[in-house]
Chain A
């Protein structure tokens, strides 16, 4: 054996820690916020349908400030669909915080065999929308506009018509409109960068690659390399600050090194921090 004794002890310790952490196990964790209103985790919508619904929901958000999110999933993380929707809604903070005007449409989808599927569907209504969309109305819309389609396999049609029907319920109600204005100043810049991480990343990436070659130049030809290094650090911190995540920074670095980014990096939305107290309707397929 070439390994020394301390190294072996260390190895055993690391292994022991790994086992302990693995055994202590993660508690059922909810999916983290994605930045998109349509989250088709069950992969039952085509890309066109997905984008179409995303456009519809974002248009509604722009007009009325009401946030409608859709989640399709084949894994409820060990919860029933009611608890899952409730926890996800409050965790993501769907709807604006001052009026709690959020809606979450959860579709639990399970393939039984090649021709049949089972599903559960829930409309979770935010606290502020309970006046405009009572449980009775949520139930009517879920039965007549959504599950009537989904029963025959028309998922997209059901969701689209459901969103429209819900929209007709609250569109003339002034009480669901958030009073929070658009962000101004630096917050507006941050909001823009969150919505368009790819463009923000490209801009930062161009600067980053420029400063990077400057630093190279000073190292090779001699000169003060402190300034370009500090600028690299500043740009990196700026990218991080810009959207509180590493997405912009990731795009920036990839672009700086000349890579191509092919993942969806535009049109993200931030949720407003709304709450639900469990109103809505569940259809058990």
Chain B
């Protein structure tokens, strides 16, 4: 009789522990997936802000064109980079690459304008446009930092217990931070 009781207790104990493990696996997995969706969401936010920047470029080019006789090369480069961007179909690494080239070209243009075209540099239109571009840069920066925060949360989730076990079972791998190759 006593033996059966012990067996019963052990069985009940196993069921409770097993149920607990099952529930904790489900909760952890759901939590990890939520974190991953958040990361994807933040990634899309970066893409949206990049698009905003690309949309500003035609406006910049038309404003600057009439004033700057000697910067046609830079303007042509900026326009071609914009076209390249539009043909990328959203591949992240390519986007980052074109974007950094674009930043270099824009910087060249801004410095040239500041040094050689005082009328343009002082014009309200150009100042406004410059503010828009700076503002867009800030949005991109904030979106990138948000993305990295989300990646950090997700990576911590799959590196710490019990997330590491769950990640192993379901094949979740760490994600890369923005700005590291």
Contact = CB atoms under 8 A, between A and B. Distances in A.
Interface residues of B, number: 17
Interface string B20-49: 000000000000000000000000010001
Contact of B139 (A137, A138, A278): A278
A135 B135 contact: yes
A77 B131 CA distance: 26
Nearest to A124: B138
A139 B141 CA distance: 18
A200 B24 CA distance: 44
B49 A136 contact: no
B138 A278 contact: yes
A281 B132 CA distance: 9
A242 B133 CA distance: 46
A179 B139 CA distance: 27
B135 A279 contact: yes
Interface residues of A, number: 16
A1 B130 CA distance: 74
B179 interface: no
B171 interface: no
Nearest to B135: A135
A278 B143 contact: yes
- Chain B binding site: helix, strand, loop or mixed by DSSP? helix
B74 interface: no
A139 B127 contact: yes
A64 interface: no
B129 interface: yes
B142 A82 contact: yes
A190 interface: no
Interface in B124-165: 124, 127-129, 131-132, 134-136, 138-139, 141-143, 145
A277 B131 contact: no
Nearest to B136: A135
Interface in A177-196: none
Interface in A251-277: 277
The residue among B45, B49, B132 with the most chain A CB atoms within 10 A of its own CB is B132
Given A277-B45, A277-B49, A138 B131 contact: yes
Q: Which 8 A-B pairs have the closest CB atoms?
A: A135-B135, A136-B128, A139-B131, A278-B142, A278-B139, A136-B131, A135-B132, A135-B131
Given A82-B141, A135-B131, A277-B143, 15 more contacts: A82-B142, A83-B142, A135-B132, A135-B135, A139-B128, A139-B135, A140-B127, A277-B49, A277-B142, A278-B49, A278-B135, A279-B138, A279-B139, A280-B135, A281-B135
Interface of B: 45, 49, 124, 127-129, 131-132, 134-136, 138-139, 141-143, 145
Interface of A: 82-83, 86, 134-140, 277-282
16 contacts: A82-B138, A83-B141, A83-B142, A134-B128, A134-B132, A135-B132, A135-B135, A135-B136, A136-B129, A137-B128, A139-B128, A139-B134, A277-B45, A277-B143, A278-B143, A280-B138
